[in-house]
A = this chain, B = another copy of it.
């Protein structure tokens, strides 16, 4: 059986389209333009690419994009002052501090200085606590994207056996909370798990979020299960020519797609959903800030 391919790129386009619709409505009915501020400290090339891509997509859906680029040796005090300014700026509904930060800055302290209701990355401990107790929160973008795709494909997830491989604060743990919120029976597996193949074989839903290229082979997958592959790993691709590289996920796509009922590819699966969900979070935050009904289907 060949798995259905869950086309994250196409799905992300529909999410952006929905967001654009809400942005247009907010302008027309309420004279409000949602605004997303991104703070980048230093010149990490990958971070620069992400920030440029976020800014571009923010503008494309009709929102205002504010970029704050700061020197690599920026002091904690100066960075906190910038964040404080954004916290108090009514034109800014979402604030994102691009990670990783230079070593001399305390990431936890910086993230927790963002006003929780503007924390569109969902990393503030208040948002983690709200999500962890089933309350309204800002939900981290990557797991939110995975949840949206799962809901779209399956409808209700209630009662399904889900296994999350990886227990990071950014993906694994919030993913587990979201699946639990949708009434899955959730197992969190990780590097200390004794018999990972057996744990994965039980699952109706497998979310792989480890960052190890092609570590999940097809024979770990239950026939018909849904595989959500969060990994984006760059590995040598000699078949493309000397020195060439390619992107692969945490699942071995070729063998997994023979057993799974549905699978997200890499690239073109979870990846494009992350920025789409950042835009979704910003429009949600904007509606909440203005006491307006928040859009349906754009958060958990």
Contact = CB atoms under 8 A, between A and B. Distances in A.
A186 interface: yes
A24 interface: no
A222 interface: no
Interface string A174-192: 0011001001011111101
Interface string A53-72: 00000000000000000000
Nearest to A198: B202
Q: State the oligomeric state as a number of copies.
A: 2
Interface of A: 108, 124-135, 158-159, 161, 167, 169, 173, 176-177, 180, 183, 185-190, 192-194, 199
A159 B126 contact: no
B188 A185 contact: yes
A128 to B, nearest CB: 4
A130 B128 CA distance: 8
Q: Is the interface of A mostly helix, strand, loop or mixed?
A: mixed
Contacts of A199: 185
Contacts of A176: 188
B190 A187 contact: no
A187 B125 CA distance: 23
A132 B132 contact: yes
A159 B108 contact: no
Contacts of A135: 108, 125
Contacts of A186: 187-188
A167 B187 contact: no
28 contacts: A125-B125, A125-B126, A125-B129, A125-B130, A125-B133, A125-B135, A127-B129, A128-B128, A128-B129, A128-B133, A129-B130, A131-B132, A133-B169, A133-B173, A158-B192, A159-B192, A159-B193, A161-B194, A180-B188, A183-B190, A185-B187, A185-B190, A185-B193, A185-B194, A185-B199, A186-B187, A186-B188, A187-B188
